[in-house]
Amino acid sequence: MLTTTGWTAVRHPGGPRDFLDAELAAWRKAKVSGRALPDTDSPPMRLAAFFASLDSTRSLGVADRFPLLVGNLNGAPVSLRYRANRTAIARSLESEVQRAKTARLTRDGRHQSMRRIHRFQALMRPERQILAFDPSGSGRAAEVFGDVERAERVSVIVPGVDTNLLTFQRSARKYSAPVGMAQSLYAAERAASPHTRTAVIAWADYTAPAGIGMDSVIGRLAKNGAVRLTRLIDALPGTSNIALFCHSYGSVVCGVAARALPSRVTDIAVAGSPGMRAGNVTELRAHARVWAMRDRGDWVEDVPHLQVGGLGHGEDPVAPEFGARVMSAAGAMGHSGYFEPGTESVANLAEIGVGSYSEVVCASEDTRCSSDIFEETAA
């Protein structure tokens, strides 16, 4: 559990790591109806089978007793994860408020503590569906928009650098943060196909690089993120088609994950990508269609697209030799503006999300991107 969910130490007593350690110790000893609880790192199918074997009273009891664990268990019922995470957020809020009152904090420490308090309060709003919540370290989260259990098509947004619990959503530059991206894409998908049941997941549940440093030009964090992303996909309920929308370093995560993704992932679309750790689409070994876009004002265009000695992420996904379907990013506002409402970029992403491929507007350099003929000629 510690390695697969990435829990990290928090120094103050009574913090998230202390809560987690207590839950893990109690989980290993606990029994339900005389049965031991399954290992927390069990495959999603085994965890799903365990929860399916419980009646509602026992399921709720497990979630209420182990909120940090159940809220992050891929395989636990979605509604149970929402409930568990609400409990975990409430407990984290109470702990952070107490810490702000009693701990000797620097001015910066107090500012960060208040930011965490405000974030927890926002996540506690009744309408929010929090699928994952990790308050330790810089923190992680995932949120669902729509009904993911009944959806015909599910879109997963995989964000890039500087993504953590405090940047999960923003008031200024709203649509550059995972929550704003998901809200914009969800609205655009409903406008594109009102009768299609859709859901969008803002997935900030991996440790992203902090800034444009060494971690952003190597694949270590992408490999860890790819494992987590694959586990999420494996655990999603139903038989919906799934599309991944991967921004910036998130496209590196999606590139590394591509070969391990199940066949229900029909599309991988990257925006502002520094590379996908591959020289071309064939090297990704993906079953899904691969799409790419880049705004003319995106600074990532100037990043060297190479991979030498573990540095760099490979060929530019919008380059013709890479072989992706290159679509228009008209209206996007630089590197962080691909999900701005009303832009052709988010409209294109929405058409992919609902499966209306013929409606995708191709980049001027590649007028074949929305055609089935593309797959025959791109190889």
- What DSSP assignment string belongs to 33-54? TTEEPPPTTS-HHHHHHHHHTS
Which of 88, 105, 136 is the last residue in one of the domains?
Answer: 136
pLDDT tier at 227 (50, 70, 90 boundaries)? Answer: very high
pLDDT at 17 > cutoff 90: no
Buried b (16+ CB within 10 A) or exposed e, 228-267: bbbbbbbbbeeebbbbbbbbbbbbbbbbbbbebbeebbbb
pLDDT tier at 142 (50, 70, 90 boundaries)? Answer: very high
222: enclosing H helix or E strand: helix 220-235
Task: Tell whether 142 and 132 lie within a shared domain.
Answer: no
pLDDT at 358 > cutoff 80: yes
Buried b (16+ CB within 10 A) or exposed e, 10-46: bebeebbbebbeebbeebeeeeeeeeebbebebebee
Task: Tell whether 207 and 329 lie within a shared domain.
Answer: yes
If 0-12 CB within 10 Å is exposed, 13-18 middle and 19+ buried, where does residue 218 land? middle
Task: Tell whether 211 and 345 lie within a shared domain.
Answer: yes
- In this prediction, residue 7 carries a pLDDT of 36
Which of 101, 136, 171 is the last residue in one of the domains?
Answer: 136
Residue with tokens 């009303």: 342
- Give the separation between CA 337 and CA 293, rounded to whole angstroms: 12
Task: Tell whether 146 and 106 lie within a shared domain.
Answer: no
Mean pLDDT, residues 90-116:
92
Which of 118, 136, 154 is the last residue in one of the domains?
Answer: 136
pLDDT tens-digit map of 36-83: 999 999 999 999 999 999 999 999 999 999 999 999 999 999 999 999
pLDDT at 259 > cutoff 60: yes
pLDDT tens-digit map of 260-311: 999 999 999 999 999 998 999 999 999 999 999 999 999 877 776 656 556 6
- In this prediction, residue 373 carries a pLDDT of 58
- Give the separation between CA 132 and CA 117, rounded to whole angstroms: 18
Highest mean predicted confidence (pLDDT) among 95-109, 144-158, 207-221: 144-158
Query: What 3-state class would DSSP assign to 283?
Result: helix
312 closest CA partner among 339, 283, 276, 281 = 276
Task: Tell whether 162 and 94 lie within a shared domain.
Answer: no
Mean pLDDT, residues 18-35:
91
Q: What is the count of structural domains for the chain?
A: 2
pLDDT at 205 > cutoff 80: yes
Task: Tell whether 166 and 110 lie within a shared domain.
Answer: no
CB atoms within 10 A of CB 320: 11
Task: Tell whether 270 and 216 lie within a shared domain.
Answer: yes
- In this prediction, residue 378 carries a pLDDT of 42
- In this prediction, residue 309 carries a pLDDT of 53
Q: Strand 35-36 and strand 31-32: pairing?
A: antiparallel
Pull the structure tokens for residue 378.
């791109």
pLDDT tens-digit map of 31-49: 998 999 999 999 999 999 9
Total-model pTM? 0.91
Task: Tell whether 196 and 64 lie within a shared domain.
Answer: no
Q: Could you give the percent of the chain with pLDDT greater than 70?
A: 89
Distance of CA 84 to the CA centre of its chain: 19
pLDDT at 365 > cutoff 90: no
- Give the separation between CA 68 and CA 92, rounded to whole angstroms: 10
Task: Tell whether 125 and 190 lie within a shared domain.
Answer: no
CB atoms within 10 A of CB 67: 24
Task: Tell whether 158 and 112 lie within a shared domain.
Answer: no
Average pLDDT score, the chain = 90
Residue 20 belongs to what domain range?
A: 1-136
If 0-12 CB within 10 Å is exposed, 13-18 middle and 19+ buried, where does residue 319 land? middle
70 closest CA partner among 9, 165, 1 = 1
215 closest CA partner among 225, 200, 204 = 225
More confident residue, 241 or 162: 241
Task: Tell whether 192 and 332 lie within a shared domain.
Answer: yes
CATH of the domain at 299: 3.40.50.1820
- In this prediction, residue 364 carries a pLDDT of 82
- In this prediction, residue 9 carries a pLDDT of 34
296 closest CA partner among 216, 363, 212, 367 = 363
Distance of CA 246 to the CA centre of its chain: 9
- In this prediction, residue 4 carries a pLDDT of 37
pLDDT tier at 92 (50, 70, 90 boundaries)? Answer: very high
Query: What 3-state class would DSSP assign to 17?
Result: helix
More confident residue, 110 or 220: 110
- In this prediction, residue 1 carries a pLDDT of 40
Q: Could you give the percent of the chain with pLDDT greater than 90?
A: 77
Mean pLDDT, residues 173-189:
97
Query: What 3-state class would DSSP assign to 136?
Result: coil
Task: Tell whether 230 and 117 lie within a shared domain.
Answer: no
